[in-house]
Amino acid sequence: MGMKPGAGMKADAVVVGAGVVGAAVARALAVAGRRVVIIEQGVPGGAVSGASLACIGTHMMDEDELPLLKWCCDEWAAFAEAAPDFEYSRCGQLRFLKQESERRSADEWIGIETAAGLSPTLLDPEAVRRIEPELTGPIHAATWSPNSAVVNPFLAVRRLLEAAQAARATLVSRNPATALRVVGGRIAGVETADGPIEAGIVVIAGGPWTAKLAATAGVQLPIVPRKAQCLATVSVPRSIRTVVGACKAEGGVDAGYTQIQQAMSGQILFNTVLEGGVTAAGSPDDIPEVDRAFIRDSIATLLFLFPKFAEIDLLRSWVRYEAVTPDDRFLTGPAGPDGLFVAAGDGGTGFVRSLGMARIIADLVAGRESPFRRDLYDPARFDRRAAA
Ligand SMILES: Cc1cc2nc3c(=O)[nH]c(=O)nc-3n(C[C@H](O)[C@H](O)[C@H](O)COP(=O)(O)OP(=O)(O)OC[C@H]3O[C@@H](n4cnc5c(N)ncnc54)[C@H](O)[C@@H]3O)c2cc1C
């Protein structure tokens, strides 16, 4: 933890950022035998990753990404077997419908996921209560995806870093990479206030700060920061067993986004963002306040579903900046000078995808084919669309 860059610090690869994506990339490269330095400007997991609800699932996510998402869920389960505890719990996920008009979308998603070998089902309110007894609000129905899991986000990042360090990766904390080094058109490492770290490969996994660092080598990336907010109640006895969300439907459940779950500490963690899930952009260096409308809508949804919590006390709220691209998919792959890669732009669901992004980077560095569609994440995809 206490390593400092300085004269002569050399590696095969520098990974910038110790959020869940950088930690996963560092682990994948180190396990593949590369000498890795991972550099973090703050504390590992201290940006959006540690503030995540960290649901690991495939349900109603992205049809094109389903194979990768399935692979990621299996990898998380395998990592939970191998690594010391990070509170991995395969609790399943419910997505509620308020009215019959949302049914078509629910049926479509169930069809897509069933064809992909998953087993979601549609439940009536009585069946929902057999799974989630306290969900007594007046819902119309809910989809049920039994394979979704949750993890403790801080512990998960820590375990990934420990696995990277066990494979001889070096972690440098509280030390920003201030610029990329480019020599003769090739990447040559990063600059820090304490001196350079030399490496022929640099992977920027800097979340919403990624575009700023890439720009130091003249690389423009379409990543913008977006506010992500959450609320937590005081601890209460185990009441919510699953991850509860709104059905993903055009105009459905007020066209919003909801996630409610109970942490192992007993705190209920919840957020509802209406109007299509879009919150304000800003600078990732701001310390913004939680929006009042967000608090109101989040409480209203919690109480609509779980009226028994009408008297529960709120404990805390937080805001982080997640990295967003124009199509809400990661930019993962080569960018700009030879040796430079990025893995950022999570669109708000990067925890589950992090292991897949790490696999893509490790395959690219090793010159191997990936089992996934790399074109979905190619950082150059927007340039090509603009040129067409
Ligand atoms: C409330 C909430 C709920 C969420 N729920 C889910 C969920 O259920 N499932 C899911 O999959 N995802 C979820 N997410 C999203 C998920 O947490 C993020 O997609 C994921 O954590 C992004 O990880 P990251 O490593 O890309 O980013 P970050 O965690 O932001 O990591 C980037 C790191 O890079 C460092 N860095 C940047 N620039 C530099 C530099 N120049 N030098 C050194 N270090 C640098 C930063 O300090 C930071 O630590 C949620 C997010 C929030 C806020």
Which of 25, 52, 290 best tests ligand 1's pocket when mutated (most atoms within 8 Å of CB)? 52
DSSP single-letter state for residue 372: S
350 Cβ closer than 6 Å to some ligand 1 atom: yes
How far away, in angstroms, is 315 Cα from ligand 1 center?
A: 23
Contact 279, 271 (CB under 8 A): no
Closest approach atom of ligand 1 to CA 178: 41
How far away, in angstroms, is 202 Cα from ligand 1 center?
A: 18
Which of 69, 190, 322, 360 best tests ligand 1's pocket when mutated (most atoms within 8 Å of CB)? 322
Residue nearest ligand 1's atom 25 by CA = 19
Q: How far apart are the first and last CA of the chain?
A: 47
| Residue 169: band (very low, low, confident or very high) from pLDDT cuts 50, 70, 90 | very high
Look-up of token digits 């919003």? 256
Say whether pLDDT at 1 is over 60: no
Exposure letters 305-315 (e unless 16+ CB within 10 A, then b): bbeebeebeee
Torsion of CA 9, 13, 18, 19, to 10 degrees: 170
The residue length of the chain stands at 388
Q: For 111-157, what is each residue's pLDDT tens digit?
A: 999 999 999 999 999 999 999 999 999 999 999 999 999 999 999 99
| Residue 385: band (very low, low, confident or very high) from pLDDT cuts 50, 70, 90 | low
Q: What's the pTM?
A: 0.96
Nearest 5°: CA angle at 144, between 240 and 156? 60
DSSP single-letter state for residue 89: B
Q: For 3-36, what is each residue's pLDDT tens digit?
A: 677 657 899 999 999 999 999 999 999 999 999 9
- Per-residue tokens: 12: 């095969």
Distance, in Å, from the CA atom of 380 to the CA atom of 383, rounded to the nearest integer, reads 5
Q: For 281-338, what is each residue's pLDDT tens digit?
A: 667 777 778 889 899 999 999 999 999 999 999 999 999 999 999 999 999 999 999 9
How far away, in angstroms, is 225 Cα from ligand 1 center?
A: 11
Exposure letters 120-145 (e unless 16+ CB within 10 A, then b): bebbeeeebeebbebbebebbbbbbb
How far away, in angstroms, is 206 Cα from ligand 1 center?
A: 8
